[in-house]
């Protein structure tokens, strides 16, 4: 048997991290067993489904590198097939037409709740021969007795009583099929062997199994993933921060960091924290997924992202950094090679957006000094070191503007003034960068370039003279 899994998002909003974890686990299971990973777009909610959401799903899957083998398939292109299946169920007495009004259904629900019974349809229309030309819905005739046992790969055996399941609607009055019918037909037609999805679908599973068996089909194996919680224990939502995959991309997270983080939400392999995609495929086992919910920890994601930025190929990181520089209105072509910037800064940032922000000084002059850094390092006592540095740096030829020569120049000024290196380098750093943190002063000056360095030293000297005049 060839393993076939599917990821079946609804395009009614963004692709969120919970959905990505489902896609990832389905992808890993298929790849580990030499199987097929299918992408299906469940767009039967015509009012809420949008082309924008479809594009966000496809864009997110591409960015993450979760390559699907078949699809994307769209349910809206399969309405004729669903209608055929529903008509067959009607012909075989396994489904029936229902014209119960909303008022009757509401009254039935209130009566059942008053008696502390589980609300369910009472089968009022089961034996009525309704005119198919008049408004109606179609209901699946659920078995009256017995149990449905779901041998879940994560939760173990879960048993549902058929007496608790009602005759669910499988075709609306407008002729459109409902979720539980379309999912069943798609999983059947696409040969899905394993359904990996969130545990919010667990209650749908016995209903879908009953429909499959009514169609003469054996159900796939099911694995229901526990939900993802925010730091406060509530279900992960927008109020906990970004939950859209595209938002994480735009904030400067790397796809490998997000996948690495999500695979550890509910699954582990010893104490290992860092996993390449190939390692995930090799080591992943659905049987080892936890039954309990997992909590999303942004600090842990940041740690992983910093690891991947720091240890990633500088050329690739530079390529991914460029759009983040663009969002700051910086054209990377106007300054040093972004690869050199990455080499200097990649251990200093948790995200690409942060890396762009702390590297902006390389490409353009800053507006203001960091207040604390300026108060500490741009004092009157720094005027002489900066003036002497300015003179020495001005004398350097452009071909000598490289780290070794620049470091020697700063060291020489410190020696001449009989002071520590930091007393010279830190005022210079604040003058050139605007703050007290940057790569080594030799690398910093190399990246900024001679013209900008001299201009910024002049500005710092004016700042110091202004402070002197205020006294």
- Determine which one of 32, 102, 116, 238 is catalytic: 238
- The length of the chain in residues reads 471
Q: Classify residue 325 by burial, with Cβ atoms within 10 Å: 0-12, 13-18, 19+.
A: buried
What CA–CA distances, in Å, run from 59 to 15, 244, 350?
9, 12, 23
Phi and psi (nearest 5°) for 5? -115, 170
Structure tokens at 413: 């000024």
* Cis amide linkage into residue 72, ω under 30° from 0: yes
Give the whole-angstrom CA distance, residue 74 versus residue 83. Answer: 15
Does 116 participate in catalysis according to the annotation? no
Neighbours of 108 (CB within 10 A): 16
Give the single-character DSSP code of 434: S
Q: How far is CA 60 from CA 16, 67, 165, 225, 240, in A?
A: 9, 11, 36, 21, 20
Q: At what angle do helices 421-433 and 450-470 cross, to 10 degrees?
A: 100
CA 135 to chain centroid, in Å, comes to 43
Query: Do the beta carbons of residue 147 and residue 161 sit within 8 Å?
Result: yes
Count of CB atoms situated within 10 Å of the CB of 256: 19
Residues serving a catalytic function are 238
């Amino acid at each position: 048997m060839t393993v076939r899994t599917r990821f079946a998002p609804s395009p009614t909003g963004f692709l969120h991290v919970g959905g990505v974890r489902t896609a990832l686990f389905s992808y890993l299971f298929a790849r580990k067993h030499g199987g097929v990973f299918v992408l299906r777009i469940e767009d039967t909610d015509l009012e809420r489904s949008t082309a924008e959401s479809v594009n966000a799903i496809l864009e997110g899957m591409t960015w993450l590198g979760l390559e699907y083998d078949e699809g994307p398939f769209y349910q809206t292109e399969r309405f004729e097939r669903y209608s055929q299946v529903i008509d067959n169920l009607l012909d075989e007495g396994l489904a029936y037409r229902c014209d119960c009004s909303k008022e009757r259904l509401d009254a039935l629900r209130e009566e059942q709740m008053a008696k502390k019974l589980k609300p369910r349809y009472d089968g009022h229309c089961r034996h009525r021969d309704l005119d198919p030309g008049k408004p109606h819905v179609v209901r699946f005739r659920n078995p009256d007795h017995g149990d449905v046992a779901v041998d879940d790969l994560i939760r173990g055996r879960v048993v549902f009583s058929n007496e608790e399941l009602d005759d669910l609607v499988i075709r609306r009055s407008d002729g459109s099929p409902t979720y539980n019918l379309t999912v069943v037909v798609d999983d059947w037609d696409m040969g899905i062997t394993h359904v990996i999805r969130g545990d919010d679908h667990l209650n749908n599973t016995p209903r879908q199994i009953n429909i499959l068996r009514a169609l003469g089909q054996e159900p796939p194996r099911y694995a229901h993933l526990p939900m993802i919680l925010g730091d406060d224990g509530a279900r992960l939502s927008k109020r906990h921060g970004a939950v859209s995959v595209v938002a994480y991309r735009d904030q400067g997270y790397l796809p490998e960091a997000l996948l690495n983080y999500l695979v550890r939400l509910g699954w582990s392999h010893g104490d290992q924290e860092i996993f390449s995609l190939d390692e995930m495929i090799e080591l992943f086992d659905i049987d080892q997924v936890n039954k309990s919910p997992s909590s999303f920890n942004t600090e842990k994601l940041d740690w992983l992202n910093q690891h991947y930025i720091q240890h990633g190929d500088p050329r690739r990181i530079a390529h991914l950094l460029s759009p983040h520089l663009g969002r700051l209105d910086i054209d990377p072509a106007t300054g040093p090679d972004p690869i050199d910037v990455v080499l200097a800064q990649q251990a200093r940032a948790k995200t690409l957006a942060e890396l762009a922000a702390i590297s902006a000084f390389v490409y353009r002059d800053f507006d203001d000094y960091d207040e604390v850094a300026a108060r500490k390092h741009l004092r009157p006592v720094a005027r002489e070191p900066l003036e002497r540095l300015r003179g020495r740096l001005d004398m350097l030829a452009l071909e000598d503007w490289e780290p070794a020569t620049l470091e020697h120049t700063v060291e020489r000024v410190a020696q001449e003034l009989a002071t520590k290196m930091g007393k010279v380098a830190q005022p210079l750093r604040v003058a050139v960068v605007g703050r007290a943190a940057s790569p080594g002063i030799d690398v910093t000056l190399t990246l900024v370039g001679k013209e900008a360095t001299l201009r910024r030293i002049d500005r710092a000297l004016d700042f110091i003279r202004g402070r002197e005049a205020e006294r």
